[in-house]
Each structure stands twice: as structure tokens, then as C-alpha cells.
Structure 1
Amino acid sequence: MDLQTRAARIRLAAFDVDGTLTDGRLIFDAQGNELKAFHVHDGQGLRLLEDAGIRVALITARRSAIVQARGRDLRLSHVHDGVADKLAVLRQICQAEGVTLDETAYMGDDYPDLGCLQSVGLAACPSDALPDLRAAAHFTAGFAGGHGAARALCDLILAAQGKDADVRRRFGAG
């Protein structure tokens, strides 16, 4: 199945956080509080998917109040942190949303994401993902994690579903 056909079928898009929505660095202040930087383009892409009726999920192994806050800020359908088995959580989300894994996209960058990538209809990764993950992906973004990789996947899905023109019109572009 070609990439456009895969993207046209997507009803749920799930994303790892560290190394996918961030550049993968873990930054702590002097008090031990964790800091993360998210790219605004990625956030806009996630919101555009939700607005187009495609549910978005964040699934991360680390417990993170920052990830919860980012999910609330973007009004995302599902935010799961502290996850040991990402594929099990992804299956639960699919069941809750009434979608199949074949109708799901997943973007991740490291070994804990491999099971999800091998199970979904559209497997994606940032350009700086581990080689094994790039080999398992149907789509490798032209951007590194935290630098627009997630947005590239969002734009691919929206275009494959013919929803990109609606997005441009919404923001005043022909």
C-alpha cells in the first residue's frame, strides 16, 4: 500500500513525546524540575488534526506534568504519561475511539516505540530516529524530533485526506 493511501485512512494519530515532539534532551532546573521545549508548528499540526476530526494521542514513558499541560493547552483527545507498554495503551485508545490499528498513525523515535510502529497502518519517525525505527517506518519526516517532524506527518495526513485546502482557507490563504 502506498504512503498516500495509508495516510488517507488515518482516523487516529498517536505520538511519542521525548525525541518526537521534543528534541529528546531532558533539561532540569536547580530544583530538579523538568523542562521541555515544544515546537509551535508541531502543536499547530496536532490541533489541525483534531479540528479535522482526526483524534490525537500523546503516549510517553516518562511521567510529566509538562506533557499533561501541553496536552491540555492543545485540547488533545488523549494524553498518557508514565506508560510502560505503549502498544497496550495505543490498543486501548483505538478501542475507546472505535478505530483499528490499521486506521492509526504512530510517530516515534526510539526502541520503546517499535511495537507501535510495527502494528499501525502508518508508521512514522523523525529524521533523527534510531536506524531500526527508520527501517520500520512508512514515512520518515524531513525534520528532526522537536523541529517540525510531527507537523510533517500532520500535513501528510491532512493532504492525503483532502483537508489541507480547508486549513489554508480557514487561515485566509487561497
Structure 2
Amino acid sequence: MREKAKKIKIIVLDVDGTLTDGKLYIDNNGVETKAFNAKDGMSIAQGIKYGMKFAIVTGKNSEIVKTRAQELGIEEIHQKISNKIKVLDEILKKNGLTYEEAAYMGDDINDIPAIMRVGMSGAPSDSSNDILQMVDFRASSKGGKGAVREFVEYILRENGLWDKILDDYRNKR
């Protein structure tokens, strides 16, 4: 898995059940909200700062996902996607990357095509059993509870970026 991680140039993430806990919060006015993990966000923002590319590909459409992605600096945001492979093909072509250079984290059966094609795959600990049996990286944390942080940090460490991130924080005054 370490060799796979060293080749990664872009990390693609599902949202519900991966970046969030998978619960859909809808109030009496029909307003949907989601909870995102700050530690997941920190690793994504730092990864972007140090040259790692990120993308979101999700089946639902939500303004809050767009807002959160923009806060973190994720430019590739694809929502209401039924064919994730078609979108992944477009993302990789646009960025001049191959599937071997892509990592993907998802939690359910609609993520299977992407998981099967990418160079490195990951899943939160509470993913469907079918997904957990397929992926390279099984986070010890659940979706929306730090699973993305584990996955991203592992990839950044293997690419020599995490130590640079830590050194920059150690040297801030």
C-alpha cells in the first residue's frame, strides 16, 4: 500500500458517509444540513497547500457541500452524479493524471466502480461490508468522524508532505 500511496496526485472523496456521518438532517422547512469534521478539513486544506489535488464526487446535490468544499480550497466539486467513473475520467483528463495517480474514498456500493479503478482506495470503518472487503485502506474512524483525515494524512505522509506541514507549524512564531 505504501508504494500505491507514493504515486497519488489527487484524492477524490465521496460526501455522505465519508466526509459526513451519512445522516441526512432535514428540518421542518425542508432545509438539509450536514456535519463535517474539522480534522478532516485540516488535512484537506494542508494537502492542497502543499500541492495535493482534491475533488468531491457525490450523488446528492447540496449547497452546503459546495460551501464546505470552497472553504477548504477544493475546486473540483461534482454533485448529483450517477456515473462517478465518467466524472473521474473527466477530472483525470483535465488534470493530466492517470487512475494510478488517483485515490478514492467512499463508503457504499455506488462507489464500487471508482474503488475498482483507482490506484489507491479507502473507506471509513462504518462502510458497507462489501466496500470494506475491497479497499486498500480501512480507516479506524467512521465517516464524518476523522476517516478522511486518516486516509489523507497517510497519503501525505507517504509522499513526504506531512513532515513539511508539521515543520512549518513548528517554525511559526
- Partner AA of 1:24 in structure 2: G
Match of residue 130 from structure 1: 128
User: Structure 1 length as normaliser, TM-score?
Assistant: 0.96
Structure 1 runs of 4+ with >3 Å offset:
none
Instruction: Name the SS for the 2:82 alignment partner.
Output: coil
Match of residue 37 from structure 1: 35
Instruction: Name the SS for the 2:170 alignment partner.
Output: coil
User: Structure 2 length as normaliser, TM-score?
Assistant: 0.97
- Partner AA of 1:135 in structure 2: Q
The percentage of counterpart residues that share the same residue type is: 35
- Written as runs of structure 1 = structure 2, the 5 A alignment for 1:6-155 is 6-155=4-153
Superposed CA RMSD: 1.2
Which segment drifts farther, 124-133 or 163-172? 163-172
Q: Which runs of 5+ in 2 are unaligned?
A: none
Q: How many angstroms apart in 2 are the aligned matches of 1:83 and 1:13?
A: 17
- Partner AA of 2:80 in structure 1: G
Instruction: Name the SS for the 1:21 alignment partner.
Output: coil
Match of residue 159 from structure 1: 157
Q: How many angstroms apart in 2 are the aligned matches of 1:102 and 1:77?
A: 21
Shift of 1:77: 2.5
Q: How many angstroms apart in 1 are the aligned matches of 2:85 and 2:47?
A: 21
Shift of 1:45: 1.0
Q: Per-residue displacement from partner, 1:96-148 (whole Å, max 9, x unpaired)?
A: 01110110000000011110000000010001111111111000011000000
- Partner AA of 1:136 in structure 2: M
Shift of 1:152: 0.4
Q: Which runs of 5+ in 1 are unaligned?
A: none
Q: How many angstroms apart in 2 are the aligned matches of 1:96 and 1:25?
A: 32
